[in-house]
Structure 1
Amino acid sequence: MALSGDVKERARGLLHALYECAGMDEAIAGLESRLSEGLPEVRPRPPLSERDALLITYGNTFSAPGEAPLATLRRFLRDHVGSAISLVHLLPIFPYSSDDGFSVVNYREVNHELGNWDNIVAIGAEYGLALDLVLNHCSRSHLWFQDYIRGEAPGRDYFVEADPDDPRLALVTRPRNSPLLTPVEVRDQGSRWVWTTFSADQVDLNFANPAVLLEFVDILLDYIRHGARIVRLDAVAYLWKKLGTPCINLPETHAVVKCLRLVVDAVAPGTQLLTETNVPQAENLSYFGDGDEAHLIYQFSLAPLLLHALTLGRTSALRTWASAVPAPPPGASYVNFTASHDGVGLRPLEGLVSEADRDALLRRMRERGGYVSMRRLPDGRDSPYELNISYFSALGGDDGEVAQLARFLLAQTVALSLQGVPALYVQSLIATESDLLGVERTGQTRAINRRRWDYGELSGLLAREGSVQARCLSEIVRRLKLRQAHRAFHPEAAQQILDSDDGVFAVLRTPRPVDRGVSMPVLCLFNFTPEVREVDIGAVCDDNGRQSVVDLIGNRRLACPRRMIRLPAYASMWIKAV
């Protein structure tokens, strides 16, 4: 397909900002060429609604004898999840050399240990697909890097070199405490130092070379050909390198995201870009741009704030943060989650809680078997970067499994209630405890929340009446289906964070004007404390308190004398007038 005049002009402006004159015409021609090479017509995807929820999973979370893990995953979805979710985010499905898939060896093949493209297409026939575009770096084993080592095209110009003695490197923002540069031997050149933001096996790509951008446009189009409805831009904040800057969230990085957005909107309307930017709140929000960058961004602050509130019994920080979250641009949305394949990011707590509170939270998490990963600061000190623990284990305590499950379900239900699209990690569906044996086996602390289940063992647990896995899965699925029936949970439905006593969190969701008359507001109430609390529900109850209301989660009518109800310990309620 040919680019329209308007799109071509916008692309020229962006590419000029990135490459000025050198390579710009070649980049424009390359962009048009890739868009014309056999991309099948993609029907516009419908906008996201209250019926949408995302499941995050590795392709090999479940295994069964004689069956490709992707086929086993599809069986789990069919047997236990069904229509409760609409989108499946498959974490990297490609051959890799480390980091559980995020050190990609080949961007176009499915890892044969998982299955093949037919397995991906089969899942995509029943659910919307979300796939990872790991674009900041590739594996040292990738053919591009082998080209670089041999001094051959095209890879010889695909990577970033730097002088380890350059004092400007001290300004670079680090997400790890490993070395920023890694030495390699290059044919006929001797030792060179390449940029490795995340590990020595993950070599950063040089987007200052327009050929690299075009490679990833090509890969992006390939994912769309295979049915991707959402494409997640992994670690995108670190994409552009410019010595003398922090090399994070640079204007050039935003320009690359805008280029990819132009491509997606031109060839596959309704396909959405999700930016993975585990940074403080203001920086994270910047990836909406002016409504011309990401369609979706994660609410990274939510997960650690929920742990903070449930661990300390105080909701003031959560309420202050949620009250300040702006409505997303038209056509864009938030992704609300509590857990993922990574740990719980701690940078998104910056400016939201005190260091004393953060440290108190980390002490409690260590007591529950968790680890804390560090990052290197410019002054050489290490600072907490990420909490590694299963979210279910993080909410344990001395008060038993019933209270632990109640706290856990409360956290998941907050994510279902806030403006945006909920995303649930597959391990959270089944109340997976921390996998300490996985950490011991791999030597990687992130393995604590990446358990690989024997499907027979899991099926036995889910069939056992009263098991925590069965209770957790059935209740989350039930709440997801409840959510689907109420327009107040549409991603664009208004959100108001209500004043409440500390320890209580109250959110009023009001349907869009176009939906009023077919849906009533829903008042979402949460008690983060072990004591019963009295809560004012005047937002959905008339002034004299005679109006009847229903708790959707509890499936019961409630009397509300004086417009007050009793909220049990760690309870979640969705209150609606009847």
Structure 2
Amino acid sequence: MKNGVYLITYANSLGKNLKELELVLETYFKNIICGVHILPFYPSSGDRGFSPLTHLKVDPNFGDWEDIKRLSQKYDLIADIMVNHISAKSVFFKDYLEKGEKSKYADYFITNNKFSRRIFPIRKKTPSLLNFIEKTVNGFRDADKIFHNDGVNKTSLRNIYRPRTGSPFVPFLLKNGSIEYIWCTFTEEQIDLDTYNENVKEILKNYIFNLAKNGIKLIRLDAVGYAVKKRGTNCFMLPETYDFINWLGAIAHKNNVSILPEVHNHYSYQIELDELKEVDYVYDFQMSVLVLNAIYNKNGAVIKRWLKVRPKNIINVLDTHDGIPIVDVEDLLSKQEIIKTSKKILSNGGNEAKRASGDNSENVDTYQINCTYYSALGEDDDAYIVARAIQFFVPGLPQVYYGGFLAGKNDAKKVKKTNIGRDINRHNYTIEEINSEMDRNVVRRLMKLIKFRNNFPIFDGNFSVVQTDNKKFIFRWRKKSLFLETIIDLNKKTVKVNYLDGKTKKLKKIKF
């Protein structure tokens, strides 16, 4: 992967499809970005592509695999695999609803009975007597309402960690008239897969192989922290989950593809993931809130502490297709600071951000605030450039969400129309709108900053933070004869860079 700034976008957010996306990239972002993370471009029944019918096809509304291949020849491409779930409209789940236990896909999913009965989920064959005993016991569980809910022990249900309240088991009506309770971590449109099942693993292997042959260089493992379920645990980032991630990584590496696990939670998980043999990159989701907090308070002390302990193989993000991740800064900020920062984000984002966040507007994740990064900073151009400078000049590969590339504001109209909170940050730009947005001063300043970050070949060198008062950052990079110093003033909201020109060997200065 090239060490430069990457764009995150949907296939139809910068133009209507992949061909228009390519036109936009070549027209407006050529020689500015070095890679693109194209969010799920597969046929899907919901959640903007994250409820995939399959990963083996491109949604014909967006284009085809030839479009993906063509883009991969110009940019390093990143794509998603939803390892945790598949669409309720998929062939697999539709067949299960039709045939029940007789479906060849019946064991692909996690029923309440399977979860309740299996302390050790891997089982090639169930003896007849054990099967009879289990069905009898499960019948009692289903009938009991005192100690069980949906046939699952209430204590076990309370232990489960997921980004929604209530039981993960959703009732589905089968064709034969029976009701089965199926695990859905997020929504009833997203059916969790049983990752212990060897056939499910074979499907995931095929997905990786197919992406590799179509030019994908990095695969993001969406929601992988929830992928392994085990009774008596919280079903999040279990030891078996790390094994599963290593297994996926080994398959990817055989196909010359890197992996990036997506895990939102305490920062310690990112540190542990970074140490796994088969993991190539981890996210720094923490910076998103820490940068806002530093700018709000004009104090960078927490970021300076974080830079000392954060993982090495980092993807730097401030904004993504999800909201601003509050849960990721636990123990980096105090509870009081988290509440204070959250209130400031919502205050800057206006009433539309409040309506779009938390339990409102059909949110998949209640641990994030739905707001564009530019709006979270009160649409302050100088503060926005300061935020991006922090992101770009610390170690890691920076990714910028397409709305962030254009310093996008909250799309209140879209949220009102769809009642989907995250749509506040998912405006679809026409080519005409992009042309207009590129003329804004803040966008021109951002493009200047990105070009510098991508073209100065020092960011795989040695990095240090100069001791100074906490209203300033001084970041230094050295590589052989090259030198770069970034001075970021949180009080004045200024960004200055001093660097040694590689050609003239003279010290130069630049402001952004």
Shared fold, TM over 0.5: yes
Partner of 2:116: none
Q: Give the structure 2 partner of residue 134 of structure 1.
A: 82
Pick one of 327, 337, 344 that aligns with 1:347: 327
Per the alignment, residue 299 of structure 1 pairs with 284
Larger mean CA deviation between 366-375 and 122-131 belongs to 366-375
**Alignment correspondent of 1:494:** 462
| Aligned AA (1:196) | C
Q: CA deviation at 1:488?
A: 2.5
**Counterpart residue identity of residue 420, structure 1:** G
Query: Aligned partners of 1:58 and 1:183: how far apart in 2?
Result: 32
2:477 aligns to what? 509
The alpha-carbon deviation at position 549 of structure 1 amounts to 4.5
Task: Say yes or no: does 1:254 pair with 2:224.
Answer: no
Question: For residue 21 of structure 2, what is the amino acid of its counterpart?
Answer: L
Q: Which residue of 1 is the match for residue 127 of structure 2? A: none
How far apart, in 2, do the equivalents of 1:179 and 1:505 lie?
45
TM-score (norm 1): 0.75
Tell me the residue number matched to 2:12: 60
Match of 2:262 in 1: 276
Match of 1:395 in 2: 377
Aligned to 1:171: 159
Determine if contact 1:316/1:502 at 8 Å carries over to the other structure. Answer: yes
CA offset at residue 184 of structure 1? 0.9
SS at match of 1:363: helix
Structure 1, unmatched stretches of 5+, are: 1-47, 376-382, 541-546, 555-571, 573-578
Amino acid at match of 1:117: W
Q: Give the whole-Å Cα distance in 2 for the aligned partners of 1:549 and 1:457.
A: 39
1:157 aligns with 2:107: yes
Sort the Cα spacing of 1:79 and 1:532 in 2 relative to 1 into closer, same or farther, 3 A. closer
Task: Name the CA distance, whole Å, in 2 between partners of 1:49 and 1:119.
Answer: 21
Q: Distance in 2 between matches of 1:119 and 1:548?
A: 44
CA contact (8 A) 1:148 1:157 kept: no
Separation (CA, whole Å) in 2 of partners of 1:455 and 1:413: 27
1:262-306 C-alpha deviation (Å, 9 max, x unpaired): 2222232xx21111111111012222234x132011101011111
Indicate the SS of the match to 1:488. Answer: coil
Q: Distance in 1 between matches of 2:196 and 2:437?
A: 51
| Cα separation, 1, equivalents of 2:493 and 2:170 | 54
Q: Which residue of 1 aligns with 2:169?
A: 181
Structure 1 distance, partners of 2:457, 2:475, is 15
Q: 2:46 aligns with which of 98, 114, 117?
A: 98
Give the Cα–Cα distance (whole angstroms) in 2 for the partners of residues 85 and 374 of structure 1. Answer: 33
2:433 counterpart residue number: 457
Q: Distance in 2 between matches of 1:498 and 1:213?
A: 48
Quick one: distance in 1 between partners of 2:400 and 2:406?
11
Residues in 2 aligned to 1:256 and 1:426: alpha-carbon distance in whole angstroms: 31
Any conservation in 2 of the 1:391–1:428 contact (CA below 8 Å)? Answer: yes
Whether the 8 Å CA contact 1:429–1:472 is kept in 2: the answer is: no
- Structure 2 counterparts to residues 12-51 of structure 1, below 5 A: 48-50=1-3
Q: Contact 2:53–2:89 at 8 Å: present in 1 too? A: yes
1:335 aligns to what SS in structure 2? strand
Please report how far the alpha carbon of residue 179 of structure 1 lies from its aligned counterpart in structure 2 after TM superposition: 4.0
* CA drift at 1:59: 0.5
Could you tell me how far 1:355 is from its partner in structure 2?
1.6
Tell me whether 1:526 sits opposite 2:488 in the alignment: yes
Post-superposition Cα deviations, 1:191-239, rounded to whole Å, max 9, x if no partner, equal: 1111111111111100111111111011110010111011111001111
CA displacement 1:64-96 (0-9 Å, x = unmatched): xxxx52111111101111022111110000111
Q: Distance in 2 between matches of 1:413 and 1:532?
A: 10
Kindly tell me the number of residue pairs found equivalent between the two proteins: 459
Aligned 8 A contact 1:177 1:374 in 2 = no
CA distance in 1, matches of 2:493, 2:442: 22
How far off its partner does 1:188 sit? Answer: 4.5
Partner of 1:7: none
Partner residue, 2:61: 113
- Verify the 8 A CA contact 1:302 1:338 in the aligned structure 2: yes
* TM-score, length-scaled by structure 2: 0.84
User: CA separation of 1:95/1:178 partners in 2, compared to 1, >3 Å: closer, same or farther?
Assistant: farther
In 2, the alpha carbon distance for the partners of 1:127 and 1:237 equals 29
Q: Which consecutive residues of structure 2, in runs of 5 or more, have no partner in the other structure?
A: 114-149, 360-364
